[in-house]
Amino acid sequence: MIDGKAVAAKLRATVAVRVASLRFTPGLAVILVGDDPASAVYVRSKDRAAKEAGIAARTIRMPADTPEVLLLAEIARLNADPDTDGILVQLPLPPHIDAVAVIEAIDPAKDVDGFHPLNVGALASGRPALVPCTPAGVMKLLHHAGVQLSGARALVLGRSSIVGRPMALLLLAADATVTIAHSRTRDLAGECRRAEVLIAATGRPEMVRGDWIGEGATVIDVGIDRLPDGRLVGDVAYAECAERAGAITPVPGGVGPMTIACLLENTVEAAVRRRGG
Ligand code: NAP
């Protein structure tokens, strides 16, 4: 079992040491629009983790009916604020707000989620700047588990812009042979079985079954899915898949903690690039 909690704790400690060595305090602003309970939990965790690492974090809460223009004005203010190094707008946004316009309004140098088109383009052209936190966290877990990526057959299940696509680009940059699978893929089970490294990011609870896993494969489960009975599971049927996998992440305690740790790292990275070490 790849222990994401432990790897994330180490990374957070490393970030804290780096923050302590700086001659300024990096600043992170997290904007939460509305009162989606899951988003509120994520934002609280990010805020707490940032403060523990010595980052000056603040959460800006805006009501669900905030007009888009007010949100854009807040982002413009933070873009211009010299003490703010990282800006994160918690997604999803209420339906009346254009999330693409909001992401594009963030200064790319402060875009610690790595979702701005300039950062996406940099990653796609092999010159990564600020990399999306979840795929960055997966790469660190693979590194920690000693997985040899160069030449390996890697399959990314899911093609969202926040997980699947950047994940595939990072694996490609690490010289893996990458396949991206999605809801139109034929013979999904067969594609999965051929993979030496399988990253699942579909949001479909436990859809990856034990007999989809190649013997000894590394399985990373990005999914965070709530079952009707309230239990939290991943996209991978853990017990079945663990029998065949060489290494596997649990849910919770796998990728989730890494996402937050990488957000802290991105914040410090953005701060140092902007202000110097
Ligand atoms: P998303 O935007 O809904 O994308 C899901 C992807 O999975 C899509 O590309 C979709 O294919 C594909 N897919 C859905 N059903 C499928 C099926 N039956 N067979 C094959 N492919 C299928 O989701 P997301 O934002 O990437 O998130 C994915 C999961 O990761 C969710 O459980 C989310 O909660 C979790 N997540 C976790 C973290 C973390 O920190 N651990 C961070 C972000 C997300 P199409 O494109 O063809 O529709």
Query: pLDDT (tens digit, 9 = 90+) per residue, 74-101?
Result: 999 999 999 999 999 999 999 999 999 9
Helices 4-21, 37-52: axis angle to 10 degrees equals: 50
Mean pLDDT check: name the lowest of 121-130, 133-142, 215-224. 121-130
Residue 267 has pLDDT above 80, yes or no: yes
Tell me if 235 sits within 8 A of 200, measured CB to CB: yes
Quote the pLDDT of residue 128.
81
pLDDT digits (tens, 9 = 90+) for 189-202: 999 999 999 999 99
User: Which of 179, 202, 226 for mutating ligand 1's site (highest number of atoms within 8 Å of CB)?
Assistant: 202
- Interacting residues of 239 by C-beta distance below 8 A, sequence separation 6+: 210
Which residue has 């796609």 as its token pair? 124
**Element (DSSP H or E) covering residue 70:** helix 68-80
What is the Å distance from ligand 1's center to 161 Cα?
10
- Interacting residues of 23 by C-beta distance below 8 A, sequence separation 6+: none
Quote the pLDDT of residue 32.
98
Mean pLDDT for 228-246 is 97
- Order across the sheet with 197-200: list the strands: 177-181, 153-157, 197-200, 218-221, 247-248
User: Which of 45, 183, 249 for mutating ligand 1's site (highest number of atoms within 8 Å of CB)?
Assistant: 183
Catalytic residue among 107, 111, 113, 221: 113
DSSP3 helix / strand / coil % (the chain, rounded to 5) = 45, 15, 40
What is the rounded average pLDDT for all residues in the chain?
A: 97
Mean pLDDT for 179-187 is 98
Tell me if 167 sits within 8 A of 138, measured CB to CB: yes
Residue 158 has pLDDT above 80, yes or no: yes
Taking CA atoms, 157 is separated from 44, 134, 237, 266, in Å, by 29, 14, 14, 25
Taking CA atoms, 121 is separated from 79, 114, 165, 242, in Å, by 20, 10, 12, 36
pLDDT digits (tens, 9 = 90+) for 18-64: 999 999 999 999 999 999 999 999 999 999 999 999 999 999 999 99
Mean pLDDT for 228-242 is 96
Whether 46 is catalytic: yes
Mean pLDDT check: name the lowest of 126-130, 162-166, 204-208, 238-242. 126-130
pLDDT digits (tens, 9 = 90+) for 53-77: 999 999 999 999 999 999 999 999 9
Catalytic residue among 85, 90, 107, 140: 90
**Element (DSSP H or E) covering residue 54:** none
Ligand 1 site residues (CB inside 6 A) read: 134, 157-160, 162-164, 182-184, 188, 201-204, 207, 222-225, 255-256, 259
Instruction: Retrieve residue 209's tokens.
Output: 């079954």
Residue 150 has pLDDT above 80, yes or no: yes
Whether 148 is catalytic: no
**Nearest C-alpha neighbor of 262 from the set 180, 175, 162:** 162
Taking CA atoms, 185 is separated from 29, 39, 189, in Å, by 39, 30, 10
Protein residue closest via CA to atom 14 of ligand 1: 202
Partner residues linked to 180 by β-bridges: 156
Residue 277 has pLDDT above 80, yes or no: no
Cα gap 230→232, rounded to integer Å:
7
